[in-house]
Every structure is written in C-alpha cells, then in structure tokens.
Chain A
Amino acid sequence: MDLVLFLTFAIVAVGCAVNLVLQRHPISAAISLIGVMASLAVLYLLLGAEFIAAAQVIVYAGAIMVLFVFVIMLLNAEAERKTGRSLVARYIGIPSLVLFLSLLGVLIHALYPSAERASFGGFTGGTPQNVGRLLFTRYLLPFEATSALILIAIVGAVWLARKEAGE
C-alpha cells in the first residue's frame, strides 16, 4: 500500500518535473511545478511530516506559485523562441543525464543499504506541536533571523519593483 502510494506520486512528480524542463511556455512550467509540489506534499505525509506537508501546500503551492503566475500574467510572458544550437543538448546532454542518474542511483544504493523501510505511521514526530516546540526553543535564533530576512526581502522587493521617479 505504501509502495503503491510512493510509486504513484513519485511517477507524477518526475513526470511533472520532466514536463517543466521541456515546456517552452512559462505558464505550462508553472502548472507542472505545482504538480511536483503537490505530489511531494503527499510523500512528506508518508514520511510523517504533517506540518511540513501542510506548509508545502500552503506556502509553496499556494503563495510562491501564485506570485510566479501573477508575474507571468503581469509581464505577458510569451513562449521562448527556438534557436538552432540545441543539438548538443539533445545528443550529448540527455544520454549523459541518464548515465549520471543511473550511476547516482547505484551509488546511493551502495552507500545507503535499504535496511530501513518507510511506512505510513512509522514516525509521527512531525506534528505542529513537536515542530513548534523545537522552533521556539532550540531554533529560536534562526527563527528570529528569518523574520529579519523576510522584512529585508519585502523592503527590497518593493524598492526594486517601484516605478522610477523620471518615468
């Protein structure tokens, strides 16, 4: 049952990621990225990360991707133009990508023998209660630092995106 769940959503995630790389229009890439994020949220749930799964859907698939789609619509982004220099990518890049991934898979299996098997409910520590307790005790300083980071990012984004005075 866990295996079916994993395989289904892993195939969806990889398919959407391949579609993201191959699509020419940014809006198709954005929709594919939302597919990847949603299927990763299911895999987080399988690994017992309830809070992270919810945050993945709300923050990533919700807020960040809405920002992306908003900018794509605002700039009226068109599909990218074809250029004739992609033969190297097609005949050398794709085989070497497949070779690299197979080598990486063999290496991960060799270094990390799959003694442990993940199953749903095998680890239930990722509740908002546990995450929140750790966030406000051991990781309090990084948490406060991220609030400063977010504030700087907001101010910077507003300053960068403003209209010039002369326009």
Chain B
Amino acid sequence: MTGVPLSWFLILSAVLFSLGVAGFLIRRSVLTVFMSIELMLNAVNLSFVAFSYQLKQVNGHLFTFFVMVVAAAEAALGLAIILAVFRNRGTLQVDEVNSMKN
C-alpha cells in the first residue's frame, strides 16, 4: 500500500480548477481575475502530468510545456492590455469598465 492513488491527483486538479473558476467569477480586480486564469491552466497541467504517469509516456509533459509557453505569451499580452486599459480608464476594477453597457 505504498504510493498515492492517481485519481487523487485528478481530484486535486479538479479542486484547483474549480477554485480558479470561482476566483474568475467573484473577484473584481482585473489582475486577480487574470491570476485565476493562470490557476486554471496550472490545474489542467497537473492532470496532463498525472495521465502521462499512468500511460508511462512523455507526451503529456510536452503538452504541459506548450501550455506553459502559451501562458507566458498570454501573460505578456494580457498585462499589456491591462496597462492600456488602466491608462485610458484609470481603473483596475472590472465592473467599472462598462462603457459598452447601456
């Protein structure tokens, strides 16, 4: 009875993903919303690596690597957009950026 059941990794991944969704929905600071997206990407990476362990193949690690690269590109672009929004609107609260409303 040594070792950890692999389904526990999947459950941990699901818990982290759901917390990311919850943070995405309830936070109002655009930076925290963005960090919740990163948390969701990390949760998916954990399930990739767990399935890679089960199948004894490295392919899952490659997918994790590509997700990291995309996350880096997304972080650079998203933070630049946040900078532009802050320069134009002077706020970081997502519910105050509502010029498309009404």
Contacts and interface: CB of A to CB of B under 8 A. Distances in A.
- Pair from one complex: yes
Interface residues of B, number: 68
Contacts of A51: 61, 65
Interface string B88-102: 000011010000000
Contacts of B76: 67, 153-154, 157
Contact of A55 (B57, B65, B93): B65
Interface in A130-167: 130-131, 134-135, 139, 142, 146, 149-150, 152-154, 156-158, 160-161
A116 B26 CA distance: 37
B36 A21 contact: yes
Interface of A: 1-3, 6, 10, 13-14, 17-18, 20-21, 23-24, 26, 29-30, 33, 36-37, 40, 43-44, 46-49, 51-52, 55-56, 59-60, 63-64, 67-68, 71-72, 74-75, 77-81, 83, 86, 89, 93, 97, 100-101, 104-105, 108-109, 112-114, 116-119, 122-123, 125-126, 130-131, 134-135, 139, 142, 146, 149-150, 152-154, 156-158, 160-161
B37 to A, nearest CB: 11
- Tell me the dominant secondary structure on chain A's binding face: helix
- Tell me the dominant secondary structure on chain B's binding face: helix
Interface in B5-60: 5-12, 14-16, 18-20, 22-23, 26-29, 31-32, 34-36, 38-39, 42, 45-46, 49-50, 52-54, 56-59
Nearest to A11: B12
B6 A114 contact: yes
Nearest to A47: B53
Interface of B: 1-12, 14-16, 18-20, 22-23, 26-29, 31-32, 34-36, 38-39, 42, 45-46, 49-50, 52-54, 56-59, 61-62, 64-66, 68-77, 79-84, 86, 92-93, 95
Given A47-B53, A56-B68, A89-B26, A1 B2 contact: yes
